[in-house]
């Protein structure tokens, strides 16, 4: 599904990714861990197409397409979803209006029929129950006045509506209490299937208790320096990243 080869990326003059390689097959969950500043979020931003990050070398193939040639919105419509570490508040743009516009823009891009308001409402009602979100949040402007936990849940709720092929969760667990963490993880697990893949970027093993990964990678100084299964995350929890300096 996703094949990243020798990616180099920078923000301004700051070189962050320095030859990263990663292969993800359909249905797999890959956890990316690593110390602060290793380049974890930059990896997410490269895949989603954030313009502040400049890719200077390498390639990214996503379902047979060169992802780096696509605009942000085209990548989203191709099936990439980035759950933001800090979801943006957009005053004045109603959550429902925004989501329907997003869903229909993606469907239009893919040549599918746009969803009418009653079909959309039905979909939203089903998903919002699954995410244990309050209805009134949908009628409010995007993320405005939401608590930290509500914002993260809203990201997962958007993901459930947009049903991407590859979801990147950028520290979705940060700032969540244990109950909110379980709800978010439940939401993710409901979306897991043989065709949908996840990249879970996190600092802590506890999220991986709820979203069990197939692979765990350690990212340091812009490269993946070690890969393993879930036991690697447990080991990192005990040992930290001091060994990287040896």
Partner 1 sequence: MFKNPINLAFEVLTSQLDEPKWLQKKRSNALKKFQDYGIPTHKSELWKYTNTKKLERLEEVTDIAESGSVLFSDSSLSEKQNTQTEKGTDPKTEQLFVFTIEGELPKNTQMQDILQIDEKNWKNIKTDKERTFVELNTAMLNGGFQLTIPKNSQLKLHIQYQQISKDWENIRTVINVGENAELDLTESYDYDCRINHVSVINMTADSRLKFQSNKLLRKTAALIHFSQINCAQNVTIQQGAVNNNAALSHTIQEVNFNGQHSKFEAASVNVAHDSCHISENILTNHKVQNCKSNVLKRSLATDKASIAINAKAIVSKGADGSDVAQSLKNILLTDDANIYSRPELEINTDDVIAAHGSTVGELDETSLTYLRSRGIPKEQAKFMLIESFLQDANIFNTEDFLDRIEL
Positions touching partner 1 (CB under 8 A) are 48-51, 71-73, 76-77, 82, 84, 87-88, 90-93, 97-99, 101-103, 105-106, 109, 141-142, 158, 162
Nearest distance from C-beta of residue 105 to partner 1, angstroms:
5
Query: For partner 1, which is the closer residue by CB, 6 or 101?
Result: 101
Query: For partner 1, which is the closer residue by CB, 34 or 49?
Result: 49
The Cα 238–Cα 227 span in angstroms is 16
Tokens of 3: 């094949």
Query: For partner 1, which is the closer residue by CB, 110 or 134?
Result: 110
Closest-CA residue to 196 (of 29, 14, 11): 29
Planar angle of CA 218, 193, 5, nearest 5 degrees: 40
CA quadruple 201, 188, 49, 97: dihedral sign: negative
Strands 65-66 and 215-220: unpaired
Nearest distance from C-beta of residue 82 to partner 1, angstroms:
6
- Find the helix packing angle between 178-191 and 117-130, rounded to 10°: 130
Nearest distance from C-beta of residue 171 to partner 1, angstroms:
16
Nearest distance from C-beta of residue 199 to partner 1, angstroms:
15
The Cα 147–Cα 129 span in angstroms is 18
The Cα 232–Cα 238 span in angstroms is 10
Nearest distance from C-beta of residue 214 to partner 1, angstroms:
25
Query: For partner 1, which is the closer residue by CB, 67 or 220?
Result: 67
Backbone angles phi, psi at 186, to 5 degrees: -60, -45
Nearest distance from C-beta of residue 93 to partner 1, angstroms:
5
Planar angle of CA 31, 128, 141, nearest 5 degrees: 95
Query: For partner 1, which is the closer residue by CB, 70 or 234?
Result: 70
Query: For partner 1, which is the closer residue by CB, 78 or 223?
Result: 78
């Amino acid at each position: 599904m996703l094949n990243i080869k020798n990616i180099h990326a920078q923000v301004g003059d700051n070189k962050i990714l320095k030859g990263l390689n990663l292969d993800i097959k359909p249905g797999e969950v890959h956890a990316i861990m690593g110390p602060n500043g290793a380049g974890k979020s930059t990896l997410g931003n490269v895949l989603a197409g954030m313009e502040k990050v400049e890719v200077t070398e390498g390639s990214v193939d996503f379902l047979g397409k060169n992802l780096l040639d696509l605009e942000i919105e085209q990548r989203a419509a191709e099936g990439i979803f980035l759950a933001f570490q800090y979801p943006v508040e957009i005053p004045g743009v109603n959550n429902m209006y925004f989501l329907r516009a997003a869903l229909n823009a993606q469907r239009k891009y893919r040549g599918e029929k746009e969803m009418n308001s009653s079909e959309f409402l039905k979909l939203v009602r089903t998903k919002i129950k699954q995410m244990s979100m309050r209805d009134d949040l949908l009628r409010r402007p995007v993320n405005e006045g939401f608590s930290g936990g509500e914002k993260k849940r809203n990201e997962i709720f958007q993901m459930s509506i947009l049903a991407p092929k590859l979801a990147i969760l950028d520290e979705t667990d940060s700032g969540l209490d244990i109950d909110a963490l379980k709800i978010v993880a439940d939401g993710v697990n409901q979306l897991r299937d043989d065709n949908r893949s996840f990249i879970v970027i996190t600092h802590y093993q506890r999220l991986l208790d709820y979203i069990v990964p197939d692979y765990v990678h350690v990212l340091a100084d812009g490269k993946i320096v070690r890969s393993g299964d879930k036991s690697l995350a447990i080991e990192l929890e005990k040992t930290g990243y001091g060994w990287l300096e040896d």
